[in-house]
Structure 1
Amino acid sequence: MIDPILGFSKLSKQEKIDWVAEQYTQNPAQTKKLLKRYWNIESKVQKLHDEFIENTITNYYLPLGIAPNYLINGKLYAIPMAIEESSVVAAASKAAKFWFDRGGFKAEVIGTEKIGQVHFMYDGDPDHLENFFREVKPKLFEDAKPLTTNMEKRGGGVTQIELRNKTSQLEGYYQLHCTFETLDAMGANFINSCLEQFADTFKREAQEHILFTKKEKQIEVVMSILSNYVPNCLVRAEVSCPIEELKLNEQITPEECAKKMIRAIHIADVEPHRAVTHNKGIMNGIDAVVLATGNDFRAVEAGVHAFAAKDGHYKSLTHASIDNGVFKFWIEIPLALGTVGGLTTLHPLVGLALEILHKPTAEELMKIVAVAGLAQNFAAVSSLVTTGIQEGHMKMHLLNILNQLGATDQEKTVIVDHFKSHTVTHSAVVAIFNKLRGK
């Protein structure tokens, strides 16, 4: 039985490592060696990493790859992707090249509105509350001025504050529903600071207002927090080509490929089990770019999946159609991203990723990320309806299997060459590996 530890955060980094290794691992010496192997040899960079979060003991590395040849609105990009899953970068690259030869991707930002809410409880007269809100609303903006002035100078700020009556869903529940424009910043700290100021002003003014009886002065603020569901922070990306140019497979005509693609999208629209996996493939591309550019992929994931269920059931985020002989494939998704603040100015590789992307604005990054998701989905669905997903995935996964088996570089060369003309399965790889080893 391991005893709980008090004051862990006050220990030095080495003391934390020693405690974890000695209390929770079978070979403490090996654990300590492993953790230090992933430290950055440049001390300043390591100190920077250590201060991103609390109780750090080492760095956890993901591969950073590049998917080239992305033509977006006539501009060529090489897209950085941080991800561990085999075949994602390869599929993204293949889709980029396919559409480069057919005019590339088109993308546009539809809206950039972000949302935050002050959630509160009130058991008095709704009309009194509504009248009070109309009177106090200018004061909410005024008291937040010290927080909003700089953002307003750049063209952003608080765009609206509404009182919403949610008592039909939860007894006594109301909210101040607030919208924001945060420009190139993701804006989480700005939004949350404004919301807390709104809550303070709202409570203070309510306690002194003549419209409220003594009982009705009891406005209880539950919490003030931004929302990661941002349906009006929306971006659209699309590709299109004449059907005869949709040559995905030598054995299937372009017309049949187009019909199969559309059927696959329709299945994801009506079957949630398929839709979840379908959208997960989209997020392979999106998360990889979001992570590489220092943005919050958990927030993006949550918002995107909520958007997929906005009509009452969970369905595909992508769409496809045939119009007048033209195949169209598109996506509309909410993406709250930033290119200034947070890790974007601290993490050296994030800075490099943004440089590779031509130092985009937040709106430009929204377009790039949406395109990455669309390309990933196109690659996945086109494989599913033609050759099947495993043929390409397993070839990319081959080196992972060989590394698990402990293959030498020479053995890898022989085995990779063999599977250029054979189907990759785990058992087939093990069999040829054992044959080479004489087992």
Structure 2
Amino acid sequence: MTDASTKPSSSRLPGFYQLSVEQRRVLISEAMGLDLAGPGFVTADGRVDVGLLDGFVENVIGGFGLPLGVAVNFVVDGREVLVPMAVEESSVVAAASNMARLVRKTGGFTTTVLEDKVIGQVQIMDVPDGAAAVRVITAHRDEIIAAANALDPILVAAGGGCCDLECRLFGPQETGAGTDLVVHLLVDPVDAMGANVVNTMCEQLAPRIAALSGGRAGLRILSNLASRRRFSARCSVRAEDLAVGELGGSEVAERIVAAARFAVYDPHRAATHNKGIMNGIDPIVVATGNDWRAVEAGAHAWAARDGQYRSLSNWQLNEAGDLVGELELPLQVGTVGGVTRLHPVARFSLALMEVSGAQELARIIAAVGLSQNLGALRALATEGIQRGHMRLHQRNLELSREMDAGEV
């Protein structure tokens, strides 16, 4: 068992799950130099000042607490990371941590920023000549970009801002009406999620774009299919480390590949497969105060980008017979703006991971999604998910009985 008074030098914390809640809090507090008991930080009972919550949404009457767990064992791009996860589902934190323990034996997860631009859409309806409108908009590209950036000089000073635009045409055969022109503003939001700045740009520039194209402005809003803000995570696991009971590691690896292939060609399986990936992603998004609905929408839309809903991940065997996995998906997350700096749990979560900005946060999120996917596939391909899941779920059942008996 881990000694709660010992400051860990890595995310590898054997026996962390055996500690009491208070011992875990002490260990994390000492390890990261975070005063969890300080004013406005993370209380053991999950309470948040209702006055603060009243400023977030309308008609507040209280708060809703989720368990906040810490996934251990993660090495992401060579860095040890303790991962906060706000989630109610049993086994999620355990599965992510367990698979991260296997992956760290081969060096941990590696991630890549594929693109990092947010898309804002300006719909122009009833354009008389679509091709001509595209030519005019393209000719005024620099003017439009400059006008967009003039709306947020602070973002531009931080190295971000509108950097390009794209035009798409939808003719009568698609819409049943006149030609629609959709102009995409591509914006680098730096460390913000980007919705507010992009929506402002779209709304302010729509009249000018409509005038240039000869049509009339329709919708002006960010797209949650963040196809230009994508991240990937990759890992490998030695076949021998995948053994379960009497099943050898090589057989388990082959079963995982077959299970992953099932999610490539069957949308019904793909939906459940991807839900398992999001089991690892959503808890971090929630814990950091980000918009988990936007992340969910983007991920599932990306999974259906070729017209059929498919798996977000890919698993194969390498020449040595070891398992190699990769996950690619769009992630609209930020480390500034919204409630990321206002909610005490969000502030703690970002501090716990020691992220430098939105890109690093997204990298970690992708790695945990891949780890969670591996855990689910390994269980499904061997003993099934119910054995481990129900063992952990039993605690919920016992608590429910105690509540019915009036003991809680």
Tell me the alpha carbon deviations over residues 67-117 of structure 1, each in whole angstroms, 9 at most, x when there is no partner: 111111211111000011111111111112222233211112111121111
Aligned equivalent of 1:197, options 204, 210, 220: 204
SS of equivalent to 1:394: helix
Q: 1:146 matched to which residue of 2?
A: 150
- Change beyond 3 A, Cα 1:151–1:40: same
SS of equivalent to 2:367: helix
SS of equivalent to 1:108: strand
Q: 2:159 matched to which residue of 1?
A: 155
Between the aligned partners of 2:161 and 2:315, the Cα distance in structure 1 is 37
Is the counterpart of residue 269 in structure 1 residue 264 in structure 2? Answer: yes
Question: Is this contact kept in 1: 2:148–2:162, CA < 8 A?
Answer: no
- Change beyond 3 A, Cα 1:145–1:240: closer
Between the aligned partners of 2:344 and 2:128, the Cα distance in structure 1 is 54
Between the aligned partners of 2:380 and 2:47, the Cα distance in structure 1 is 44
- Deviation of 1:127 (Å): 4.4
- Deviation of 1:246 (Å): 3.3
- Change beyond 3 A, Cα 1:64–1:369: same
Q: 1:70 matched to which residue of 2?
A: 74
- Deviation of 1:241 (Å): 3.5
How does 1:379-418 map onto structure 2 within 5 Å?
379-406=375-402
Tell me the alpha carbon deviations over residues 140-186 of structure 1, each in whole angstroms, 9 at most, x when there is no partner: 23433431322222211111122321114223211111111111111
Please report the TM-score for the alignment, with normalisation by the length of structure 2.
0.83
- Deviation of 1:290 (Å): 0.5
Aligned equivalent of 2:285, options 260, 285, 290: 290
Is the counterpart of residue 233 in structure 1 residue 240 in structure 2? Answer: no
Question: Is this contact kept in 2: 1:139–1:201, CA < 8 A?
Answer: no
Q: Which amino acid aligns with 2:271?
A: V
Question: Is this contact kept in 2: 1:246–1:258, CA < 8 A?
Answer: no
- Deviation of 1:205 (Å): 5.5
Could you list the runs of 5+ residues in structure 2 that have no partner in the other structure? 1-44
Between the aligned partners of 2:104 and 2:393, the Cα distance in structure 1 is 26
- Percent same amino acid among aligned pairs? 38
Between the aligned partners of 1:384 and 1:127, the Cα distance in structure 2 is 52
Stretch deviating more after TM superposition (252-261 or 154-163): 154-163
Is the counterpart of residue 310 in structure 1 residue 305 in structure 2? Answer: yes
Q: Which amino acid aligns with 2:200?
A: S
How does 1:227-376 map onto structure 2 within 5 Å?
227-243=223-239, 245-325=240-320, 326-376=322-372
Question: Is this contact kept in 2: 1:148–1:158, CA < 8 A?
Answer: no
- Deviation of 1:55 (Å): 0.7
Is the counterpart of residue 108 in structure 1 residue 112 in structure 2? Answer: yes
Q: 2:7 matched to which residue of 1?
A: none
Tell me the alpha carbon deviations over residues 30-89 of structure 1, each in whole angstroms, 9 at most, x when there is no partner: xxxxxxxxx9877xx321111100111110111111111111121111100001111111
Between the aligned partners of 2:342 and 2:95, the Cα distance in structure 1 is 30
How does 1:422-437 map onto structure 2 within 5 Å?
none
Q: Which amino acid aligns with 2:221?
A: I
Q: 2:24 matched to which residue of 1?
A: none
Aligned length: 359
Q: Which amino acid aligns with 1:373?
A: G
Question: Is this contact kept in 2: 1:246–1:257, CA < 8 A?
Answer: no
Which structure has the larger Rg? 1
Between the aligned partners of 1:135 and 1:333, the Cα distance in structure 2 is 33
Could you list the runs of 5+ residues in structure 1 that have no partner in the other structure? 1-38, 207-216, 413-439
Question: Is this contact kept in 1: 2:149–2:162, CA < 8 A?
Answer: no
Between the aligned partners of 1:261 and 1:408, the Cα distance in structure 2 is 41
Q: Which amino acid aligns with 2:283?
A: A
Question: Is this contact kept in 1: 2:125–2:181, CA < 8 A?
Answer: yes
- Deviation of 1:283 (Å): 0.4
Between the aligned partners of 1:286 and 1:127, the Cα distance in structure 2 is 41
Q: 1:378 matched to which residue of 2?
A: 374
- Change beyond 3 A, Cα 1:41–1:342: closer
Between the aligned partners of 2:314 and 2:132, the Cα distance in structure 1 is 46
SS of equivalent to 1:259: helix
Q: 1:11 matched to which residue of 2?
A: none
- Deviation of 1:284 (Å): 0.7
Between the aligned partners of 1:353 and 1:119, the Cα distance in structure 2 is 38
Question: Is this contact kept in 1: 2:334–2:358, CA < 8 A?
Answer: yes
Q: 2:51 matched to which residue of 1?
A: 47
- Change beyond 3 A, Cα 1:265–1:131: closer
Aligned equivalent of 1:122, options 120, 126, 132: 126
Q: 1:28 matched to which residue of 2?
A: none
Question: Is this contact kept in 2: 1:136–1:202, CA < 8 A?
Answer: no
Question: Is this contact kept in 2: 1:159–1:180, CA < 8 A?
Answer: yes
Please report the TM-score for the alignment, with normalisation by the length of structure 1.
0.77
Q: 1:169 matched to which residue of 2?
A: 174
Between the aligned partners of 1:383 and 1:282, the Cα distance in structure 2 is 14
Q: Which amino acid aligns with 1:386?
A: T
Question: Is this contact kept in 2: 1:92–1:376, CA < 8 A?
Answer: yes
TM superposition outliers: structure 1 runs of 4+ over 4 Å: 39-42
- Deviation of 1:139 (Å): 3.3
Between the aligned partners of 2:287 and 2:56, the Cα distance in structure 1 is 15
Q: Which structure shows the bigger proportion of residues in helix conformation? A: 1
Question: Is this contact kept in 1: 2:149–2:161, CA < 8 A?
Answer: no
- Change beyond 3 A, Cα 1:175–1:89: same
Between the aligned partners of 1:407 and 1:336, the Cα distance in structure 2 is 39
SS of equivalent to 1:122: strand
